[in-house]
Amino acid sequence: MAVSLIGSPTSLSSASAQANTISQDEFLKVLLTQLQFQDPLKPMDNQQFLAQMAQFSSLEQTRQLNDRIDQLLTIQSSTQSIGLIGKTVEVSTSSGSVVGQVTTLGFQDGVPSFTVRTTAGAFLTDISLSQISVVR
């Protein structure tokens, strides 16, 4: 039975995504600057102002939802990892596929890491979920 793997939420380019976004404080500073330097004879349209505020509020809620989804993916990855203890798995290594039994599970920075005892009796350490291709 093949295992469909889930990617680590941290493997996404979150650093580049954060670099392209502005925080709520930064947005409010831009908005206040815009209000300070607007032409008194042509003030900002109230509807436009409220639309900007509503749009930013919606974007903030979407960001919070994405953070919660990332947390759920991490929990799912952990739960999936715990279920592999004692199972026979096929592990992809640089020298090919190896069959063995998962003996221990550890977490390094929230990422699961396995130790697998091969059929030859050797121990493979620091095996990631992405290296496990088949669970028997």
pLDDT of residue 30: 80
Burial class from Cβ neighbours inside 10 Å (0-12, 13-18, 19+) for residue 111 reads: middle
Domain that holds residue 124: 88-135
Q: What is the pTM of this model?
A: 0.52
42 and 95 housed in the same domain:
no
pLDDT of residue 110: 78
Share of the chain above pLDDT 90, in %: 29
Domain count, the chain: 2
18 and 77 housed in the same domain:
yes
68 and 92 housed in the same domain:
no
- In a domain, residue 4? The reply is no
- In a domain, residue 2? The reply is no
76 and 100 housed in the same domain:
no
13 and 47 housed in the same domain:
yes
Indicate whether 18 pLDDT > 80.
no
- In a domain, residue 116? The reply is yes
CA distances from 48 to 23, 53, 62, 103 (A): 20, 9, 21, 60
The string of pLDDT tens digits covering residues 91-127 is 998 888 999 999 999 988 878 899 999 988 999 999 9
pLDDT of residue 12: 44
76 and 22 housed in the same domain:
yes
